[in-house]
Structure 1
Amino acid sequence: MSFTGTVKTYGEVRAVDGVDLGIAPGGTVALLGRNGAGKSTTISLLLGLTEPDSGTVELFGGPPEASVRAGRVGAMLQEARAVSRVTVGELVAFVAGRYPAPLPVAEALELAGIAGLAGRRVDRLSGGQAQRVRLAVALAGNPALLVLDEPTAALDVEARHAFWTSMRGYARRGHTVLFSTHYLEEADAHADRILVIDRGRIVADGTGDDLRRSAGGSLVSFDLAGEAPEALSLLPGVRAVEVREGRARLRTDDSDATVLALAGLGAVRALEVAPASLDDAFLALTDPEPVR
């Protein structure tokens, strides 16, 4: 899968702004971004649901539409309507029958965690159950690339755990699982690779540890007690300074050197040192006011 100089605009908004990206087969890849950062547009381009204004998008060496028609791609999108008067098993069997080499229906239902719902009508399910039916439909064709847009939004904690167990197992078969999510802890725990998109551009690409390092490896916080905040940015290791309600937070690449320098200034008051979280990295990497 590859994006090369890909641009998509809506009026004056550049929802995807010159993206260059390649993803090799296999593993799990998370797409993170604020609301409106360009995640859904990127997925639409990947699936051939919309055309780029310039640049190219390729799947398996050709246009996305060809891979979708060949059954090599499965997708679970955020918006879908329940089908009336059919059972879960009937729906998944119908979809599977449209593919050249589908999963057995029972296996698709098992992977989606709804093996016990095969005889239930689709239009009489809870929100979480309906979400898992959409996953079973996406899995039905045994796709080489599975694209999931906010897949766990309607699931409870237990269902999320079961979902990710299934997805890791599916990826271990050599498939690629690409998912967007608002849950940073999910990306950190379950993605081999994390892509952060902001204002239509890829602003970070790596593992959770890579992202944390890119934003500064540690956070040093303490009470200012009269210490001049402007001098803090000059301390060794410090990459960013935030002062709020008399307490300073320093993002630093070298917490030991930063703390020793603070001690030399006599500025160690209610000191705390903690590793940067993925949330910290995400906030440092993204713009506070996205356009989409």
Structure 2
Amino acid sequence: MAPLGPGWHVTTPAVVFFSEALNAGSVFDPALEIERIYLREKKPSLGGGSQGNTPPPPSKVKSKVDLLGQGRVVVIRPLAPLLPNVTYEIVMDQGVRDLDGKLARGAGVLGSFTPSAKTSSEGKVVAVFPEPDARDFSRQGEIFAVLDGPATASTVTTSSFYVRKESDKSAVAGSISYPLKSLVGSDTRVLLFTPSAALEGSVEFGVVLKKTIEVGGQPLNPGDKEPFSKFTTMSWKRPSDVKIGNPLSGFPDAVNLSNLASLRIDVDLPAETLAGDRVEVRVYGGDPSTKGEGDLRYVE
């Protein structure tokens, strides 16, 4: 979870990591007025005598909430600049669930941070994904960085933000994009690096961010170490295609009670698959016991 502590720009997003992919409807659903992970202004307690004083309830910060990182990362972007020298709390209410319907633990205040009144301070890295020292990261997973202010797009290149193989420091070929949108276009606080091909398996990679990236007209301060973070990939790749091998006439992708018992799944495996490797297939569908919540159930 990030950021923490003082000294952040007033445009700082908050980021919360989870170990499993979340059910988006349990995190936010405007139609149902659900918002279970959010920012709120921390209200100081008011001292009082025998009568005491009750502080006003903390108010939520109007924000845009998105899921990234295959549904494992919540990014909270305030719709307006935060107030300087005011502490904000990152809060998770009860009811957040993963795709299998399991409740997330640790509800309450996850952490807090305080924006600075300085407008000329260097930009900071709020978070990167995969998380530092992550292991068994997908060879085809999203790799992104979240900054505390909008980056100048012309300064974000594959020379200033990239992934490298740590054994020989060779850069991975890839491209940069901005996966989230703001009211005026791409939100350049969130930078996505997409490798041109699947990463090598069981290899340590580094995420590099350079000071040449400008944030709010000031250089980014990624810290003294390079790379900014490291991660290790898993040994295998995802299947290239999964489809029903004996589809019902007129319903090529349908799975229901009439064909579940005899269902055959065709899986196109990557070329490096070895004899003896195990393939597990899950077929997901809506959970009728929590209809309207968006939970899923599966057979394996």
| Higher helix fraction (1 or 2) | 1
Between 1 and 2, higher relative CO (CA 8 Å, sep ≥ 6) is seen in 1
State TM-score, norm by structure 1: 0.23
Higher strand share: 2
| TM-score normalised over the length of structure 2 | 0.23
